[in-house]
Amino acid sequence: MQTYNVFYLVSGDGEENQNISDTATLSFDAEDLDALFETLQEGEEDGSIQPELKTIAIEGDINIEYVLIYDSKGNEVFRKYSSIGQ
């Protein structure tokens, strides 16, 4: 079992809040990356993972996506967009 740090991007998804965004980092324990992705998908489906609670309040519709994942050694193991952090 190892701990993964998951970096989320929370952004407005409506006309009135489209230019508002924030980030949140949540930690999860999982056997491996596949098990982590299962946990993240289940949390998305049942609403048990709520990174928006760790960000500024964004009124209206929001979009939440995980964009970076690091393992317990600090190694990047997932990057959704190639331009993040570069």
Q: Residue 67: what pLDDT?
A: 95
Residue with tokens 């190694």, as numbered in its chain? 75
How far apart are alpha carbons 64 and 55 in whole angstroms? Answer: 11
Q: What is the mean pLDDT of the chain?
A: 92
Sign of the dihedral through C-alpha 25, 28, 34, 39: negative
What type of residue is 17? Answer: N
Token digits of residue 18: 């489209």
Q: Residue 84: what pLDDT?
A: 56
Regions of the chain where pLDDT drops below 50: 86
Q: Residue 85: what pLDDT?
A: 53
Model pTM?
A: 0.87
Neighbour tally for 1: CB within 10 Å: 8
